[in-house]
Amino acid sequence: MAHSLIIFASGRGSNARAIIDYFKNNGKAKVSLIISNNSGAGVLEIAKANGIPTLVVQPKAMGQEEFLNILAAHQPSLIILAGFLKKIPAQVIARFPDKIINIHPALLPRHGGKGMYGHHVHQAVLTAGEQESGITIHYVNEKYDEGNVILQAYCPVRAGDNADLLAERIHTLEHFYFPRAIEFLLKG
C-alpha cells in the first residue's frame, strides 16, 4: 500500500505541489491530508484541485487530543512541514517521534530560528555577505530549526542578487530535493 503523507503549510504551497506531483507520478506515497493555520493559503486551492482533504486548524487546537487523533487516523509515514509558520506543539512531536520533517530555505545552523522564514532568511543571507546558500531538510524537535539534518543542498549567492532572486533559486532546489528526500526516508 502507498505510504500516507500529511503536509502542514501556511502559504502558497509550491513545495506541497511538488510533493503531490512527484508521488502522483511514481505511486509510492499519497498525500492524504493538508493542514493549514491560514484559511486563505494557496496550498488549500492546490489540495482542492488534487482532491486532497484539508483542515484549517487554530494553533491552540494543535496540542489537543482530538487533533492528534485526526492525524493518527491517517496513519502517516511522515508529517511534512512545507512552509508551516506555527510551532508544532510538544504533544504532536511526542505522538509521532522521528516522523516530522521540515524544510528550511538556508544552510542551518546559520540563518534559522524564530522569525527566520521566507524573505527574512534570504535577506539575512545577503546581509551577512554569504557566498552560498541552500536548503536544509531536517527532523523537527521542540526547538525551531534544531532537529537532526537529513539533507542539505547548496546554491551560489550571485553578485546582484536580491531576496527575490535568491528565493527563486532556492525554490528550484526545494522542489527537486524535497520529494526525493521524502522518498529516501520512506525506504529507510
Name the minimum Å distance from CB 106 to ligand GRF: 8
**Minimum distance between the CB of residue 47 and ligand GRF, rounded to whole angstroms?**
12
As a whole number of angstroms, the distance between CA 117 and CA 83 comes to: 8
Residue nearest to ligand GRF (CB): 83
C-alpha cell recorded at residue 178: 524535497
Nearest in space to 179 (alpha carbons), one of 16, 53, 12: 16
User: Is there binding between residue 104 and ligand GRF (CB under 6 A)?
Assistant: yes
Burial class of residue 41, CB neighbours in 10 A (0-12, 13-18, 19+): buried
Known catalytic residues are 104
Contact assessment for residue 73 and residue 79, using Cβ atoms and an 8 Å cutoff: no
CB of 14 or CB of 64, closer to ligand GRF: 14
Helices (H), the chain: 14-26, 42-49, 65-73, 90-95, 118-127, 163-187
Question: Does 134 contact ligand GRF by CB under 6 A?
Answer: no
63 versus 118: smaller Cβ distance to ligand GRF: 118
Location of C-alpha cell 531538510: 137
Nearer to ligand GRF, 12 or 28 (CB): 12
Could you tell me how many residues of this chain bind ligand GRF (CB under 6 A)? 14
Q: What's the closest the beta carbon of residue 66 comes to ligand GRF, in angstroms?
A: 26
Look at residues 58, 10, 18, 3 and name the one whose alpha carbon lies nearest to residue 179.
18
- Separation between Cα atoms, residue 182 and residue 137, nearest integer Å: 9
Of 174, 179, 181, 182, the one binding ligand GRF by CB under 6 A: 174
Stretch that binds ligand GRF, among 9-17, 57-65, 142-150, 158-166 (CB under 6 A): 9-17
| Residues of this chain that bind ligand GRF (CB under 6 A) | 9, 11-15, 82-83, 103-105, 117-118, 174
